[in-house]
Amino acid sequence: MNKPLQWLPDGQPYSPRYGDVYRSRTGLAQPQQVFLAGCGLPAAWAGRPTWTVLETGFGLGLNFLTTWAAWRADPQRCAELRYLAVEAHPAAAADLLRSVETLSAADAAGVSLLATVRTLAEELAAAWEPLDAGVQTWVFEQGRVYLKLAVGEAQTALPLLGGPADAVYLDGFNPALNPAMWSEPTLAAVARLCRPGSRLGSWCVAGAVRARLQTLGFEVHKRTGVAPKWHRLEAIYRG
């Protein structure tokens, strides 16, 4: 059954399918602090020929756009940024654009980042015609930024993406509402795309998720979160 995304009165994107919002109300703070900083970025990609990010739950592309904007702003950036993601229900281009209109910057330094995110959202939306299933790629920045999206159920779509990932963003909905995104088979499919030393970030610190990641070979740390969340998760794949 088609259940399109809804917009709440406060501007938050909401999924009636999963009964949860797409992101925290903290604007760019979550992508910057939970996902980029959680994976040691932007410092970790400095001087590298390539850097590969893997995301579970592409959603409205906010983490992708923030990563791309951070890459663009960084004089030490890797030569090529590869972004691999899975998504079961791709959003419409109009929703990708609306998503960045209502955002606020995390801090004064985030103002120019947000302006770049909005510009890049227009570029993404102009090219955005996701398939119902299968793998698609988009190339930006004259071939230096590469987005590969596998549309489908995460557990089966993840192996279609290749790897290895240098950084992993785990961004499903709340595990209580979206258990498939945090299940052992899905996280095992993520681990198979990691290399020793791959970094992982998430806002989710649920005990069962941390235990699964540990069993799969991740060293897991609970860090101070982005308000209103007390904690966020950082992990390193040890293999």
Ligand X SMILES: C[S@@+](CC[C@H](N)C(=O)[O-])C[C@H]1O[C@@H](n2cnc3c(N)ncnc32)[C@H](O)[C@@H]1O
For residue 139, the cross-strand partners are 146
DSSP sequence for 16-37: TTTTEESS-SSTTHIIIIIIIG
Taking the complex as a whole, how short is the minimal distance between the CB of residue 236 and ligand X, in angstroms? 21
Q: Which is nearer to ligand X, 22 or 237 (CB)?
A: 22
As a whole number of angstroms, the distance between CA 184 and CA 196 comes to 19
Q: Which is nearer to ligand X, 160 or 180 (CB)?
A: 180
Omega cis (within 30) before 49: no
Q: Which is nearer to ligand X, 3 or 196 (CB)?
A: 3
Q: How far is CA 46 from CA 41, 65, 74, 233, 238, in A?
A: 9, 19, 9, 23, 22
Residue 46 contacts residue 79 (beta carbons within 8 Å) = no
Taking the complex as a whole, how short is the minimal distance between the CB of residue 103 and ligand X, in angstroms? 11
Taking the complex as a whole, how short is the minimal distance between the CB of residue 5 and ligand X, in angstroms? 8
Taking the complex as a whole, how short is the minimal distance between the CB of residue 57 and ligand X, in angstroms? 3
Q: Which is nearer to ligand X, 23 or 210 (CB)?
A: 23
As a whole number of angstroms, the distance between CA 189 and CA 86 comes to 12
67: which 2 tokens?
A: 């990563």
Q: Which is nearer to ligand X, 5 or 235 (CB)?
A: 5
As a whole number of angstroms, the distance between CA 140 and CA 119 comes to 13
Taking the complex as a whole, how short is the minimal distance between the CB of residue 19 and ligand X, in angstroms? 12
Q: Which is nearer to ligand X, 22 or 218 (CB)?
A: 22
Collapsing DSSP states into helix, strand and coil, what is residue 156? Answer: helix
Among candidate residues 23, 15, 107, the one with its CA nearest the CA of residue 62: 23
Which residue's C-beta sits nearest to ligand X? 59
Taking the complex as a whole, how short is the minimal distance between the CB of residue 174 and ligand X, in angstroms? 9
Q: State the residues that interact with ligand X by CB under 6 A.
A: 22-23, 57-63, 86-89, 153-154, 171-173, 178, 180-181
Collapsing DSSP states into helix, strand and coil, what is residue 125? Answer: helix
